[in-house]
Structure 1
């Protein structure tokens, strides 16, 4: 199941967050959902320019585009993006990685200082859905969203990859578990709890942007439910 289908089937009126919006692949369908307000965060300047262009001449009143990163601090942070053989790898842009130590003949690094804030600073009261894609910074984003997660109980989809941060497939679900959330993944049409993830065969990939190899299957999108809603939500998804 893709992330758009997941959020669409479980849609509840309220605010939806697209964290790591890139050029709006999920922001746009979020905006089409009934009774939705969408806030899209994208700190990489080239990607944010395309995100704005996707809603030109201006986004509708219920869509807010924010050129900032989310995390657990308020201020600024370095966003690093690898450039492989002269080609920008925007999908790897990260506030959690420096991309130092790889072959300098192939991998250059472009950096920006970007604004960062905790999600809790928005004081949202109607957050219903979060899509999170931040290349290794998931833990900081969620730590900065602690009070909002407790208060609003949104559904989440999160990309978590060991290649971007060792131990993240353990630490992120554990943090969410402590807040009353359950993490699942889907494989071959079946929903599996996080405990079923075999990292050696389902999460093997190189952290080097110049090395294109990964396990088959490669499971990196995870679906997160408030514990009190898990059973009912899974019944809505399995149909």
Structure 2
């Protein structure tokens, strides 16, 4: 059936928009139109070119568009029938001799693990560097993905100390450790890490597709934007039992809490000089009143070289390069190597 002239005109404009972004991840107005049809099974409330272009600006990349639409209440109620409770739809994902406890409603970390694409470069770095007998920290362990990988790498003569404050994620962490047969190697603690010991507010969404997005918050509760709050134990690692351990490797991903946690482990870092992999998330750092400049400055004072980690699953090489801090905010994982050890580390990475 031939489309009316007006419809042909609309789709020609949509196609013109799409052609401009066909070689990149830029979202077009046509992408927005099809997202409504394919994901929500309906037409947009307003199909005008102006509105679709405005919606495209809200989701500037195709990945943002996919996550935005699949995270919507309308999509979840249509395909799941209820909200994304952390204790619903749990599965065990096999990965060689490891077993990960995954929530099927977690469209970010959970499905990345299921599809075998979660932080593959960082994983290869861990598996290349961590040696049998090493002592490791996994701070912000989530469901235990890296705790299990670290546990396997350091072996029965090594130890992994994992920290996760979110109650539901901590349960998944314990399941991952048990299912992977790593109970004698990995010790899990249900607490947050920061620059002091006591309690702190954990903020998390009750209805979310990203269970790794919870974060601790030191400000007034009325600034939390409607998120759920839970009081959780907090420890400074210099005051904890791990302060007496000889720590060789640290993996840290705590949604902007990295700077404060490093401040709470100053003595441990000075004594052990561990290799570290840290997530850098500018918006998370800003929530705590700091930015990347302070984080990178602290690591520089501690005489660490910083290498940006490139998460390219199709590359045969482990992608690391000198971190260019003058090119604007950096988002992603950073490999932190004590000065004098970079050549040794890079040789192990191949």
Tell me which interval the TM-score lies in, with the shorter structure as reference length.
0.7 to 0.9
Indicate conservation of the 8 Å contact 2:121/2:309, yes or no: no
1:2 corresponds to: 121
Identify unmatched segments of 5+ residues in structure 1. Answer: 204-218
2:211 corresponds to: 90
Indicate conservation of the 8 Å contact 2:200/2:217, yes or no: no
Identify unmatched segments of 5+ residues in structure 2. Answer: 1-119
Matched ranges for 1:1-239 at <5 A: 2-12=121-131, 13-33=133-153, 34=155, 35-56=157-178, 60-83=183-206, 86-87=207-208, 89-96=210-217, 108-121=226-239, 122=241, 123-166=243-286, 167-187=290-310, 190-196=319-325, 198-199=327-328, 203=330, 219-237=331-349, 239=350
1:208 corresponds to: none
CA shift for structure 1 position 161: 1.0
Cα separation, 2, equivalents of 1:20 and 1:77:
15
Indicate conservation of the 8 Å contact 1:136/1:160, yes or no: yes
Cα separation, 1, equivalents of 2:205 and 2:232:
16
Larger mean CA deviation between 173-182 and 185-194 belongs to 185-194
Bigger Rg, structure 1 or 2: 2
Instruction: Output the aligned Cα RMSD.
Output: 2.4
Cα separation, 2, equivalents of 1:236 and 1:196:
25
Sort the Cα spacing of 1:77 and 1:184 in 2 relative to 1 into closer, same or farther, 3 A. Answer: same
CA shift for structure 1 position 165: 2.1
Larger mean CA deviation between 1-10 and 46-55 belongs to 1-10
Secondary structure, in 3 states, of the residue corresponding to 2:251? strand
CA shift for structure 1 position 194: 2.4
Indicate conservation of the 8 Å contact 2:177/2:186, yes or no: no
Sort the Cα spacing of 1:15 and 1:195 in 2 relative to 1 into closer, same or farther, 3 A. Answer: same
CA shift for structure 1 position 54: 1.9
Indicate conservation of the 8 Å contact 1:42/1:66, yes or no: yes
Cα separation, 1, equivalents of 2:205 and 2:144:
21
Count of aligned pairs between the two proteins: 215
Cα separation, 1, equivalents of 2:267 and 2:161:
18
Secondary structure, in 3 states, of the residue corresponding to 2:285? coil
Secondary structure, in 3 states, of the residue corresponding to 1:231? helix
Indicate conservation of the 8 Å contact 1:186/1:192, yes or no: yes
Cα separation, 1, equivalents of 2:274 and 2:302:
12
1:172-210 superposed Cα distances (whole Å, 9 cap, x missing partner): 12101111111110347653322356226xx4xxxxxxx
Indicate conservation of the 8 Å contact 1:82/1:109, yes or no: yes
CA shift for structure 1 position 88: 5.9
Instruction: Give TM-score, length-normalised by structure 1.
Output: 0.80
1:65-97 superposed Cα distances (whole Å, 9 cap, x missing partner): 1001111111100011134xx336421111147
Q: Pick the structure with more helix per residue.
A: 2
Secondary structure, in 3 states, of the residue corresponding to 2:270? helix
1:207 corresponds to: none
CA shift for structure 1 position 48: 0.4
Indicate conservation of the 8 Å contact 1:23/1:54, yes or no: yes
Cα separation, 2, equivalents of 1:112 and 1:220:
27
Q: Pick the structure with more strand per residue.
A: 1
Cα separation, 1, equivalents of 2:218 and 2:342:
33
